[in-house]
């Protein structure tokens, strides 16, 4: 909405008034709660305020006929703002938009009581009114948007020799290692959103049999044509099988697996699919510049990246990639939107390192930014959710009766 005013009362001794508006929602008990304040427009009796956005719930609790009270004040530096006057309206009235109905007389009840000739202390006019329906992440899921998860696991030597108990990849016959725990915990959270539960699972930073070439995107199940694993259990099996056959090596390059998923994401930009890459890593990264470049390019695509850091390292580089404080940039180009979420797994496990303290808290933090990242892509591309299909009703058998 945007408002302007005309011929407001002059309240300042030197100069005119410095007007601002205060909006109040009325409550069930007749009291009023402040829900919006405009900025102050200095030294004028005919201010034009900037347009502002407010949710219908905050403005009138979704009740279109409920009273909305608006007070007009003259701003004073010492905080003792002078009351110019007030008027009331409702969502239904405002929704008529700019018209003769939306010009309001600003009345000061005290002045009205005292002066016979008093008509008003100026007028406030609605200049524009626009309503947008906020759609949610689940509206898209209900409408059939598919979420595709890809898992990428760090097989670099900095994780430690898998035969040693200190290794994050330790092959312990009795319990899950750090990677296994993180994969299982985070995987069980994300698989609920993936309709076919088939996950491409990749590894990076290892020497592969038979010839020992180093790969930064290899299929964990050994089948590059079809790297899909069945559910998180399938990913875990392929992970443990790979550990037995590959040699941990390096360097730690993230860009290839990011670009791998970006290739798929760039082929479906119509909002029917969204891709999430889950990278599980010890956080030591070798190709920071290339990774930033890949993230900046991927920020234009329907994809997000969740980085789960395992082990005790300092994860400064991962926090930088997360882009919450400073948006990721590469060669002067900034990421169009924030697409990376970093979660240090050690914050969620007990001292022994064998148990996740709270799966619910981990789930919340892992998925915290995905809905907003997803919506920011859809909004920027103007993609609306498809209508949800009608709920399934079993066919009813009608008995034919002979007349």
d(CA 121, CA 84): 7
Same structural domain for residues 48 and 155?
no
Structure confidence at residue 403 (pLDDT): 58
Same structural domain for residues 216 and 343?
yes
Beta strands in 131-267 (DSSP E): 146-154, 198-204, 206-208, 213-215, 218-219, 228-230, 247-248
pLDDT digits (tens, 9 = 90+) for 201-248: 999 999 999 999 999 999 999 999 999 999 999 999 999 999 999 999
Same structural domain for residues 34 and 153?
no
Residue 379 token pair: 């909004």
What mean pLDDT comes out for the span 12-18?
Answer: 83
Same structural domain for residues 170 and 238?
yes
Helix (H) or strand (E) holding 18: none
DSSP label at residue 390 = P
Same structural domain for residues 194 and 221?
yes
Answer whether residue 367 is part of any domain.
yes
pLDDT digits (tens, 9 = 90+) for 290-347: 999 999 999 999 999 999 999 988 899 999 999 888 889 999 999 999 999 999 998 9
Q: What is the CATH number of the domain that holds 66?
A: 2.60.40.150
What mean pLDDT comes out for the span 3-30?
Answer: 91
pLDDT digits (tens, 9 = 90+) for 76-117: 988 899 999 999 999 999 999 999 889 999 999 999 888 888
Residue 192 has pLDDT above 90, yes or no: no
Answer whether residue 387 is part of any domain.
no
Answer whether residue 399 is part of any domain.
no
Same structural domain for residues 241 and 345?
yes
For the chain, the residue count is 403
Answer whether residue 360 is part of any domain.
yes
Answer whether residue 374 is part of any domain.
yes
Beta strands in 75-197 (DSSP E): 82-90, 103-105, 123-128, 146-154
Answer whether residue 153 is part of any domain.
yes
Q: What is the CATH number of the domain that holds 351?
A: 3.40.50.410
d(CA 87, CA 59): 15
Answer whether residue 116 is part of any domain.
yes
Which residues face 273 on adjacent strands? 146
Same structural domain for residues 33 and 171?
no
Instruction: Count up the domains in the chain and report the number.
Output: 2
Residue that finishes a domain, picked among 128, 156, 177: 128
Structure confidence at residue 401 (pLDDT): 63
Answer whether residue 151 is part of any domain.
yes
Residue 52 token pair: 């502002």
Same structural domain for residues 23 and 42?
yes
Same structural domain for residues 260 and 116?
no
Nearest to 306 by CA among 157, 143, 185, 142: 185
Domain that holds residue 47: 2-128
d(CA 39, CA 48): 10
Q: Which H, E and C letters describe 256-296, residue by residue?
A: HHHHHHHHHHCCCCCCCEEEEEEEEECCCCCCHHHHHHHHH
pTM of the prediction? 0.75
Residue 142 token pair: 């209900």
Match 């994860």 to its residue by tokens.
Answer: 315
Same structural domain for residues 226 and 115?
no
């Amino acid at each position: 909405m945007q408002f302007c005013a005309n011929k407001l009362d002059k309240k300042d001794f030197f100069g005119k008034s410095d007007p601002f508006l205060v909006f109040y929602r009325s409550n069930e008990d007749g009291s009023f709660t402040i829900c919006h304040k405009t900025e102050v427009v200095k030294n004028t009796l005919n201010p034009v305020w900037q347009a502002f956005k407010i949710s219908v719930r905050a403005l009138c609790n979704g009740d279109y006929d409920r009273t909305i009270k608006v007070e007009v004040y003259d701003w004073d530096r010492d905080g003792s703002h002078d009351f110019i006057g007030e008027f009331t309206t409702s969502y239904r009235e405002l929704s008529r938009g700019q018209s003769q109905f939306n010009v309001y007389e600003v009345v000061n009840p005290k002045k009205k009581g005292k002066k016979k000739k008093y008509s008003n202390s100026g007028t406030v006019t609605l200049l524009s009114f626009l309503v947008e329906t906020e759609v949610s992440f689940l509206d898209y899921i209900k409408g059939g948007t598919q979420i595709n998860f890809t898992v990428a696991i760090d097989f670099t030597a900095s994780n430690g020799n898998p035969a040693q108990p200190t290794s994050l990849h330790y092959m312990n016959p009795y319990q899950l290692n750090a990677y296994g725990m993180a994969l299982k915990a985070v995987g069980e959270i994300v698989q609920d959103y993936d309709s076919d539960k088939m996950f491409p699972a990749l590894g990076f930073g290892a020497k592969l049999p038979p010839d020992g070439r180093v790969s930064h995107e290899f299929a964990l199940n050994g089948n590059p044509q079809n790297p899909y694993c069945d559910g998180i259990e399938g990913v875990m099996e392929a992970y443990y099988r790979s550990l037995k056959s590959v040699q941990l090596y390096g360097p730690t390059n993230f860009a290839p697996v990011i670009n791998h998923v970006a290739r798929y994401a760039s082929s479906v930009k119509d909002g029917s699919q969204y891709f999430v890459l889950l990278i599980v890593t010890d956080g030591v990264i070798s190709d920071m510049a290339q990774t930033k470049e890949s993230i900046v390019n991927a920020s234009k695509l329907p994809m997000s990246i969740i980085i789960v850091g395992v082990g005790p390292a300092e994860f400064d580089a991962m926090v930088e990639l997360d882009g919450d404080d400073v948006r990721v940039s590469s060669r002067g180009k900034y990421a169009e939107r924030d697409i990376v979420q970093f979660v240090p797994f050690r914050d969620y496990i007990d001292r022994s390192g064998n148990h996740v303290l709270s799966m619910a808290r981990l789930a919340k933090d892992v998925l915290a930014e995905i809905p907003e990242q997803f919506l920011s892509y859809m909004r920027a591309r103007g993609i609306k959710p498809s209508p949800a299909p009608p709920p399934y009703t079993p066919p009813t058998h009608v008995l034919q009766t002979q007349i």
